[in-house]
Amino acid sequence: MIFEKKKVRQEVRGRLQKISTIERQQLSASACALLEKQIVWQQSKTVLFYAPLPSELDVWPLLAAALASGKLVALPKFDETANHYSACAIKNIETGFSLGQFGVREPNPGCTKIPLNQVDLALVPGVGFDLLGRRIGRGRGFYDRLLAQISGTKCGVGFDEQIVEAIPTEPHDVPLNCILTPTRWHAVNADARFE
């Protein structure tokens, strides 16, 4: 299983290296526009974003739009003592962040924690996805532990190059409800997710 996951990660990372910075920006803008058209986005009151790494699809521009429309916006924040992520509210996109444990933007210390069962929509990064809602991350399991506590819609977000035929799964892997890429919004058939 570990070898299979490593192989998928290498394959997808190879594809992502071929996308230029300008193409990433254009593709990210297309994905954001597609997300804004979805009912789940329009009806969500609390959205868990992620702070994109350079290789990830950039949903950051939607953060300001979500705040302006009155949504409660949160980001994952790593808790070193508990060795897991929680969700913390963001109120100011200019000053509300600092670099966290893994060099990723996180809410500043003292931020208000949001109960994960209140998250209506979680935007979920990953290395690869398949159309059954399976996801492969970086291999530490932090996101799966976070997602296991979210009852709202879990949406995998990535470039089309990150979609593969099948992702190998393990018992701790949490299925997604939908997949967003620059060219598609794919709702997952819950009955077919983890055959």
pLDDT tens sequence across 63-115:
999 999 999 999 999 888 878 889 999 988 877 778 877 778 888 888 899 99
pTM of the complete model? 0.92
Q: Give, in order, the Cα–Cα distances in Å from 170 to each of 108, 133, 175.
A: 33, 13, 11
Could you give the strand order of the β-sheet that contains 178-180, starting from the edge strand earlier in sequence? 113-114, 84-90, 72-79, 46-48, 121-124, 153-157, 178-180, 185-187
**pLDDT grade, residue 169 (50/70/90)?**
confident
Mean pLDDT computed over 176-186: 97
Q: Which fold has domain 2-15+27-189?
A: Rossmann fold (3.40.50)
Distance between CA atoms of residues 186 and 34, nearest Å: 11
Distance between CA atoms of residues 74 and 89, nearest Å: 4
CB 85 within 8 A of CB 39: no
